[in-house]
Amino acid sequence: MNRKHSLITTIALACATVVYGQVEVRSEAQVTAASGEHSPLWLNANKYGLSSTDQEYGYLRVGAFRPVESDSVKRWDYGYGADVALAYNIDLPMVVQQAFVEARWMKVQLTVGAKEQPLELKNQELSSGAQTLGINARPVPSIRLAVPQYWDIPGLHGWLAVKGHVAYGLQTDDQWQRDFTHEQSKYTTHTRIHTKAGYLRIGKATKPLTVELGLEMGCQYGGNSYINDEGLMVRLKNNGGLKGAWHAFIPSGYEANEADMVYKNVDGNHLGSMLARVNLDYAAWGLSAYVDHFFEDHSQLFFYAHNGYGEGDEWDKKVRRSYFVYDMRDAMWGLELRLKRCVWLQNVVAEYIYTKYQSGPIYHDHTMFMPDQIAGSDNYYNHSVFSGWQHWGQVMGNPLYRSPRYNDNNMLMVLDNRFWALHLAASGTPAAAWHYRVMCSWQRGFGTYGIPLASPQRNLSMLAELTFAPQRLKSLKGWSLKAGLAMDRGELLGDNFGLQLTLGWRMFTKE
């Protein structure tokens, strides 16, 4: 093990020093051991998919990165990253976690490859995670065009700023899906991924009060879906190419198996979040309040559906102005407190998540005899054609939606997407070399509308994590040791207890 670690580190250093510029080299070894049915939630979740639900797993990881921001004074710049892990009980014996190149011109950045992207408008370390574009699953190799940092709109003196991205990528979990489902239940191969997001900041960054608004959207399209039809696996070729990419960008078209149907859904698995965040920022403290409202279709995006259809010969015509109005019940509500002069307690996050509504339990398309149109039962993260909002079995949003890899029925479904949860977390740096993080999540799950639980199931997940990273001792500079203790208690995830140890090292080459 040590010889492999030395060899990989040597190769990374050699590659890094070939390229001109400041390069960061990282090396990390991690082991996890647990008792119970699985590794505890917070030893597995929000680690960009380089983790496992198994009781024992680990990896030896090395990477070299040249940040594109390292020469930000230039009008243009380039960067790259390579991040590889030798893994035990993490799907593959060798995982290419990140591999990308990128270029920046002014504020615009182009990235090609798989790269771990951070959370937006949430605390990366303490939040339970975003509902749409989270950090819980392995990065999808993509072509991504972005303005990653806020850009002040000219002529407005910094009072309005924007950022965002557009990306197209390809999922890499085809074989994993085949193995997990045993090719007996629904799975999808060569699935394309499209994501886009836009954020608006109102108020100068130097002022105490700012407001941020955002819209995040994702879509799975293309590839081949294999669906069990009375014991036979039927192949469905989904719309790909330019046609599928356009339908993913502008939600439109219809599924490949709906050409002869009266009622048609838009092409692909579309979902997203509407975001808002209000920030107060002073010298000694800061406070932010935010909301992340998730939607699967227009009923939760616009909160209404047209309901003015006629009867008889006019059954499919909108003959009157009548609408079905939905409630805004489903959302994540959060508070983040920043204490800038307190070392023992620096950041506190509290979040409440409610997902039980989903536009109501009833879905009914209007007919000749019943003109009411009720578009409910949204079934978050699941889809009738695609394998759902997951990659390598981990949901690509918030991990409190129980990921498919927990399922013992070999079905690629989120079997608990109707729940409420309370999440509390805190962190601090009581001494220069010491940092801690604690997290606690209490959840009550109700299953799905289609497969409800016989009675609500509870879960309590906790984490206590301590990091030692000495900087004053020259011989230990760049090294860190992290220890995490975590547990689950309840019916949703079972009773689990685990320990995770992570030894890390990093250095920077000089130009």
Residue ranges per structural domain of the chain: 1-97+506-511, 117-494
pTM across the whole model: 0.91
CA atoms 268, 274, 327, 459: torsion sign: positive
pLDDT for 207 equals: 95
| Cβ-Cβ contacts under 8 Å for 231 (sequence gap 6 or more) | none
| Cβ-Cβ contacts under 8 Å for 280 (sequence gap 6 or more) | 208, 209, 286, 287, 288
pLDDT for 509 equals: 77
| Cβ-Cβ contacts under 8 Å for 242 (sequence gap 6 or more) | none
pLDDT for 307 equals: 74
Structure tokens at 101: 């190149």
Q: What CATH class has 117-494? A: mainly beta
CA dihedral 277, 460, 124, 57 (to 10 degrees): -160
Q: Give the separation between CA 92 and CA 510, rounded to whole angstroms.
A: 34
Residue numbers in the chain where pLDDT is lower than 50: 1-20
E strands in 320-380: 323-325, 331-339, 347-354, 363-364, 374-375
Q: CA angle, corner 231, sides to 225 and 235, nearest 5?
A: 20
Burial of 4 (0-12, 13-18, 19+ CB in 10 A): exposed
pLDDT for 282 equals: 96
pLDDT for 270 equals: 94
Q: State the distance between the two ends of the chain, measured CA to CA, in whole angstroms.
A: 32
Q: Give the separation between CA 111 and CA 102, rounded to whole angstroms.
A: 4
